[in-house]
């Protein structure tokens, strides 16, 4: 069975791992990636100061060393290679392209200068080649981060870390310089519901209390649980949520110790507008105070009370969730921002039946939820559906199954095709540069990579 996987992030590698672990049928897997470097969110999403999470790449290397695996980097689906091309060479094509853009707040002023998405900032500080030229005005002293998920926490932490803390990470060099020169002093994390409902997890909240150069606080009356939240917490009987609430209540009781920066966690407030100055730059965010009511299915929803407040800030990051983007010739559910599917089989929106040979895994399959490891069972489900379809004879036989034929085609379309051996050579260079400066790695730019490989 010949399989093409489009997108070399965690879901792509976990899918390859599952397919290649089988004795029968023998599977040949080609993993295609539009960027020169693999690893998707592990390289370009996971925060630089969360080095341990990145060790999962060792298991990706083990997958790549299995017979039957090939990596083709620097080749973009929809540009150098089309769905029709892949259908001619493979029994099955699986999209693992993640969620590459962000959701919006939908409020006036959202496009003012100084208002950005967290996805852009995260990709920028992680050296993503398509985001490295962005600029963030870190001469701002006050910053609001809208949303209280783990991405919002990453953004807040990166803004609050001291240069010394950042210097030992693999943050992009230009971002390290910009963050060193940062004048940010106050960061506000803004949650629209209460502490029980906040999407961030306890270990991430705990880490906020351990920052070297930043005090953390919460507003006492916002972390006192209302009767509905108390009931929700008791019903859930979930230790992790209890721990999270305790940590937040602890922060509300903490007196600032005089560290240079201050991070404030707010709850039950929604942004209603961004206010600009004469030059069109953000100068404040207007918040409305919410209360919680039981919505459909008992889920607690935030309802505005009408009481507003104005928070002076010069920089705003919205961190209200990622969103998938459509791919050429592939069905897309605009409402959910995913490829419509049933357990990984892509569904034709007209017939509502599976499209033979098309599959999805990861965030583009289920939406942007869970941690890196969540993609393992998710990819296994898709891999198993694919194999079951192959064994049942439901997959159309490709016209050109010879592995050499697709490689020839890709090299014609992209003379600078990057193999896994190329990547391992680049990986070694990045690690060696890191060792020389006490960092896990120093990331190469796309241009440096291409030059190193002799591509112009
Ligand atoms: P998320 O966990 O879905 O959090 C999104 C946050 O945005 C929620 O607090 C949500 O509040 C809020 N929100 C949505 N719409 C809003 C609006 N219009 N106004 C105000 N707030 C709004 O998404 P994420 O932080 O992007 O993370 C994505 C996934 O990656 C998550 O599963 C996360 O755990 C994972 N991740 C994990 C780590 C880690 O393990 N360290 C790091 C980063 C990311 P409501 O709940 O009220 O909707």
**pLDDT for 242:** 97
**pLDDT for 237:** 83
CB of 152 closer than 6 angstroms to any ligand 1 atom: yes
Kindly list the averaged pLDDT for each block of 10 residues, start to end, along the chain of length 456: 98 98 94 97 97 96 97 97 98 97 96 97 96 96 98 98 96 97 98 98 97 98 97 92 97 96 98 98 98 93 98 98 96 97 97 97 97 97 98 96 98 96 96 95 92 88
Tokens matching residue 325: 């983007």
CB of 148 closer than 6 angstroms to any ligand 1 atom: yes
DSSP 381: H
| Cα(45) to centroid(ligand 1), Å | 14
CB of 266 closer than 6 angstroms to any ligand 1 atom: no
Sign of the dihedral defined by the CA atoms of residues 428, 433, 439, 444, in that order:
negative
* Interatomic CA distance for residues 180 and 448, integer angstroms: 24
**pLDDT for 297:** 87
Q: Which residue has the tokens 């918040």?
A: 287
List the residue whose alpha carbon is closest to atom 29 of ligand 1.
369
Residue 332 CB: number of other CB atoms within 10 A?
A: 16
Task: Output the pTM of the full model.
Answer: 0.97
List the residue whose alpha carbon is closest to atom 14 of ligand 1.
320
CB of 9 closer than 6 angstroms to any ligand 1 atom: no
* Interatomic CA distance for residues 63 and 281, integer angstroms: 48
Hey, what domains does the chain have and what are their CATH numbers?
2-100+324-452 (3.40.50.720), 104-321 (3.50.50.60)
Q: Which residue has the tokens 């919460």?
A: 218
Angle in degrees, CA 291, 295, 299, rounded to 5: 90
Which atom belonging to ligand 1 lies closest to the Cα atom of 148? 9
């Amino acid at each position: 069975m010949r399989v093409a996987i489009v997108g070399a992030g965690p879901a792509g590698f976990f899918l390859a791992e599952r397919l290649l672990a089988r004795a029968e049928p023998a599977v040949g897997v080609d993993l295609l990636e539009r960027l020169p470097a693999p690893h998707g969110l592990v390289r370009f999403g996971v925060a630089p100061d969360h080095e341990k999470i990145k060790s999962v790449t060792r298991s990706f290397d083990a997958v790549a060393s299995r017979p039957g695996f090939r990596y083709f980097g620097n080749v973009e689906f929809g540009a150098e290679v089309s769905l029709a091309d892949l259908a001619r060479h493979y029994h099955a094509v699986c999209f693992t392209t993640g969620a590459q853009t962000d959701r919006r707040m939908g409020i006036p002023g959202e496009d003012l200068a100084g208002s950005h998405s967290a996805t852009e900032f995260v990709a920028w500080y992680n050296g993503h080649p398509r985001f490295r030229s962005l600029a963030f005005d870190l001469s701002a002293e006050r910053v609001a981060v809208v949303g209280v998920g783990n991405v919002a926490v990453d953004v807040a932490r990166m803004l609050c870390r001291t240069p010394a803390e950042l210097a030992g990470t693999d943050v992009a060099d230009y971002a390290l310089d910009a963050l060193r020169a940062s004048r940010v002093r106050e960061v506000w994390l803004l949650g629209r519901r209460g502490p029980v409902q906040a999407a961030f997890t306890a270990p991430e909240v705990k880490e906020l209390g351990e920052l070297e150069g930043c005090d953390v606080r919460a507003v006492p009356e916002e972390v006192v649980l209302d009767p509905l939240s108390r009931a929700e917490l008791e019903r859930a009987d979930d230790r992790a949520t209890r721990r999270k609430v305790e940590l937040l209540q602890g922060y509300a009781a903490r007196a600032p110790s005089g560290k240079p920066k201050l991070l404030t966690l707010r709850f039950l407030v929604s942004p209603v507008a961004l206010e600009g100055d004469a030059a069109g730059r953000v100068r404040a965010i207007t918040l409305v105070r919410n209360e919680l009511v039981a919505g459909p299915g008992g889920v607690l929803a935030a309802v505005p009370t009408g009481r507003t407040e104005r928070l002076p800030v010069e920089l705003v990051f919205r961190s209200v969730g990622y969103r998938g983007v459509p791919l050429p010739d592939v069905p897309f559910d605009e409402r959910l921002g995913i490829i419509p599917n049933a357990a990984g089989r892509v569904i034709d929106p007209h017939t509502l039946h599976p499209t033979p040979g098309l599959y999805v895994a990861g965030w583009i399959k289920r939406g942007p939820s869970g941690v890196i490891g969540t993609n393992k069972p998710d990819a296994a489900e898709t891999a198993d559906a694919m194999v079951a379809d192959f064994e049942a004879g439901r997959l159309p036989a490709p016209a050109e199954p010879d592995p050499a034929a697709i490689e020839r085609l890709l090299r014609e379309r992209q003379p600078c095709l990057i193999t896994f051996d190329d990547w391992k050579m680049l990986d070694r260079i990045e690690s060696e540069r890191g060792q020389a400066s006490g960092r896990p790695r120093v990331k190469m730019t796309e241009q440096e990579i291409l030059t190193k490989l002799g591509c112009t």
